[in-house]
Structure 1
Amino acid sequence: MSEFRVPAVDIGPYVEPEQFTDADRAAVARAMDEACSTVGFVQVLGHGVPPSVIAGLADAADAFFGLDPDAKRAYQLPPDVNRGYTPPKSESLSLSLGVESASKMNDFFEAFNVGTAASEFPGLDLPESDYSENVWPSAQFRASVWAYYAEAGRVAHVLTRVFADALGLPSDFFEQFTDHSLDVMRMNNYALPPGTVDLDGDLTGMGEHTDYGIVTVLWADQVAGLQVLGADGAWHDVRPADGALLVNLGDLTAQWTNDRWRSTLHRVKPPIVDGTIERRRSAAYFHDGNVDALIETISTCVDEDHPAAYRPVTVGEHINAKLRGSRAGVLYTDSDRNARRVRAARS
C-alpha cells in the first residue's frame, strides 16, 4: 500500500498570470485534477497571501481567545446565527454527517466566526438569516481579521478558476454561482485552560465531518491534530507544509462532479503532551456559493456507467441542513453515504 500523501500544487501561474504561459496553467490544472480525484486535500503554494497578513490574523485570534470566558461569551449568538463566538462543547460536527455521538455536543474547540453580510449587497435583498451581520470585539480585531478574510476569498476565487480548467469547463463557469457567495471564516482554538475539558481517550477536538460548500482554504499551525480519512479507510495525520495553505473540497463540489472529486472526511484529535493539550490554531475560510444557486451534477461527469448520484439542491438548502446538525444538534439525514464511511473507519 502506498504511503498517504497530500499533494502540493503551486497556483502561482493563476495568481500572477502575466508571468506564466498557458502551458504552465494547464500543468497546474492537471495537477489539481489529480489531487482532487485521489485525496481531496491539497497543499497550495504560490497563493500570494502576505506573511504579515497571516501574522496579523494569528495575533488577533490569540488576543480574543486569551480573554476570560465571560468576556468571550459576550459575543456568543444563537445557534442559528453562524457568527460570533462558539464556546467549547457547544457543537458536534459528526451530527452534520448523520452520525450520532456518544455525547451530542462534545467537540471541545472554541471558535469565532465572521462572514459575508447582506449589507455588502444592498441591491439583492439577501436573507439576513444566511448573510448575518458580524460582531466585532474591537476595531483592531476587525481590521486584522478582515484583511486575511479578503486574501482567503481571493485565493478561493482563484481556485475555482483552476477547478474550471481542470474539469474542462469555461474558466468563468463558477462565477455565476459565487458572485454573492455565502462565505464564512471560522477561527479555531484548541488550547483551553486547565480544567476546561477532561483528558480522556474519547476527547474530540473537532468531530469527523466533510465541509459543506465548494472549497475550504485553511491556515493552520504546524501542530499535529488534523487527520484525514484516506482511501484505505484509515485516519492519517496532516500538517501544512512551509508556506502552504491547506485546501480541501466540500460536499457541493463532490455533487457537481458526481464524486469524481472527493469531499474528504477529516477531524481534529487533540495533541496531548504531558497531560496538557498542545496549542493549535487554525482559520478555515469556507467558500460556499450563492445561497440561491442550484447545484446540479455537471454533464461531463455523468455517463452510462456513472449516472447522477445526487438530486439538485440549492446552496442554502444544503448548508442550512448541515448547520442544523453541527450547531443545533439536529441529526442530518439527507444522505447516509458519509455516515457509512465514518462507521467503517471507526471499526
Structure 2
Amino acid sequence: MVVLANTPTEQISIIKPQKAHVHFSNIPIIDLSKPGCEIAIVKALEDFGFFKVTNHGVSKEIMSKLEAEAVKFFSLSQVEKDKAGYPNPCGYGNKRIGGNGDFGWVEYLLFEINSKPISSTSLGFLREHCASLFCSALNEYISSVRKLSSNVLELMAQGLGIKQRDIFSKLVTSQESDSMFRLNHYPACPLLKELNCNLTGFGEHTDPQLISILRSNNTNGFQIALKDGGWLSVPPDEGSFFINAGDILQVLTNGRLRSVKHRVLTNGSKARVSMIFFGGPPLNQMITPLPQLLKGEEKKYIDFTWADYKKAAFKSRLADNRLALFEREMTH
C-alpha cells in the first residue's frame, strides 16, 4: 500500500468534473517511423504545443522497470521517504510544490540531470540493494528519453526548414545541459469518489525548459489548455510518450511553437505515477529568437540566459506567466 502523509488539504483546490470539450477530442498522434512526421510535429506544436509519439524506440521493459522502482519507493513509510529530502529544489517532496505557496495532491522525487549518470550514493536513503536497482533503472530510462528528445528536436528543426539539424538538440545533449527529471505519484483519494470531484494534483503551469517528455501509467488526470481557454483531458497510454514545448522553445521560435499550459487532477479510484524528462539548455546559453525563423518579423522577446530565466521561474508561482517578464515592447 502506498502511504502519503496526512497533510491538511485546505490549500489544495477541489475541481468539479467538466463536460468533455466539444471543439476538439483527438490528441495529435505522431508515428516517428513514418515519412513526414517532422511536418506533423511542427503543426502539432503550433496548434496545441503538445502531441503523442508512437514508435519512439524506447522499450516497454525500460519504462516498466523504472515505474516498478518508483512504486517501491513511494510505498515506503513516510519516515523512510522523508529521508530522501534534499536541499531545495531537488529530492523528495510531499504536497508542497516549490517555495512560493503552491500545493497539490502529489509526492515526488526530483533530480538534476547532467552529463554524469546518477550514482547509487545519491540514493543512499534506500537500502544498498534497492538503491542499486533504482539507480540502474533511472539511468537507463533517462539515457533513452534523452535520445528521444534529441531525435524529436532534430525532426522539429527539419520541419521548420532550418538547415542546421542540431540547432535545438545540441542544447539538450551538450555536456553543460541543465536538465531535470521528475517522478510524480498522485495517490487515489477515496473521499473524492463519494463527492464526485477531483483534487488538484499539480496546478496549471507551463514548463520553463525546451521540451518535456512525459510517460505515465494507465491512469487519467493529465489535461492541457486549448487556445479558447478550455481544458482537454488526455487519455493515458503507458506505451507511448507525450511531448510538449516549453517556454524556451517558444522564445527560440519567436512564439511560433506554443508552450502549452497543463495540469494534473487526481481522483478517488486509482493512483497515477508519471515520469517527466525536462530538456534544458546550459545555464550560460543565450536565449533569443532564431534569425532563421524571424524572416523580417520583430523579435517578441528580449535576450536572456537560461540562468536568468531559471531564476525567475523559481521565484514565481506555478500559474504565473513567466514569459511576460521577457517580452519586448512591440513597435506596431
TM-score, scaled to structure 1: 0.76
1:239 corresponds, among 213, 235, 242, to: 235
In the superposition, relative to structure 1, how do residues 324 and 330 fare at CA in structure 2: closer, same or farther (>3 Å)? farther
In the superposition, relative to structure 1, how do residues 266 and 92 fare at CA in structure 2: closer, same or farther (>3 Å)? farther
In the superposition, relative to structure 1, how do residues 264 and 292 fare at CA in structure 2: closer, same or farther (>3 Å)? same
The residue type paired with residue 161 of structure 2 is G
Structure 1 residue 66, shift from structure 2 partner: 0.3
Whether 2:212 is the aligned partner of 1:221: answer no
Q: How does 1:145-160 map to 2 (within 5 A)?
A: 145-160=138-153
Aligned-partner Cα distance in 2 for 1:337–1:312: 8
TM-score, scaled to structure 2: 0.80
How much identity, in percent, do the aligned residues show?
23
Counterpart in 2 of 1:74? Answer: 83
Mapped contact 2:157–2:168 kept (Cα < 8 A): yes
Counterpart in 2 of 1:281? Answer: 273
**Local SS of the residue matching 1:108:** strand
Counterpart in 1 of 2:166? Answer: 172
**Local SS of the residue matching 1:203:** strand
2:315 corresponds, among 301, 324, 331, to: 324
In the superposition, relative to structure 1, how do residues 4 and 330 fare at CA in structure 2: closer, same or farther (>3 Å)? closer
The residue type paired with residue 40 of structure 1 is G
Counterpart in 2 of 1:129? Answer: none
Cα deviation per residue 1:147-179 (whole Å; 9 max; x = unaligned)?
A: 111111111111111111011111122244231
The residue type paired with residue 38 of structure 1 is D
Aligned-partner Cα distance in 2 for 1:261–1:271: 32
Structure 1 residue 48, shift from structure 2 partner: 0.8
In the superposition, relative to structure 1, how do residues 221 and 171 fare at CA in structure 2: closer, same or farther (>3 Å)? same
Structure 1 residue 4, shift from structure 2 partner: 3.7
Cα deviation per residue 1:11-48 (whole Å; 9 max; x = unaligned)?
A: 136xxxxxxxxxx2xx1111111111101111111111
Counterpart in 1 of 2:184? Answer: 188
1:84 corresponds, among 79, 85, 91, to: 91
Counterpart in 2 of 1:6? Answer: 27
Structure 1 residue 205, shift from structure 2 partner: 0.4
Aligned-partner Cα distance in 1 for 2:113–2:42: 29
**Local SS of the residue matching 1:141:** helix
Structure 1 residue 241, shift from structure 2 partner: 3.8
Structure 2, unpaired ranges of 5+ = 1-21, 328-332
Structure with the bigger percentage of strand: 2
Mapped contact 2:62–2:140 kept (Cα < 8 A): yes
In the superposition, relative to structure 1, how do residues 220 and 279 fare at CA in structure 2: closer, same or farther (>3 Å)? same
Counterpart in 2 of 1:344? Answer: none
The residue type paired with residue 288 of structure 2 is E
Mapped contact 1:324–1:331 kept (Cα < 8 A): no
Aligned-partner Cα distance in 1 for 2:189–2:198: 19
In the superposition, relative to structure 1, how do residues 294 and 87 fare at CA in structure 2: closer, same or farther (>3 Å)? same
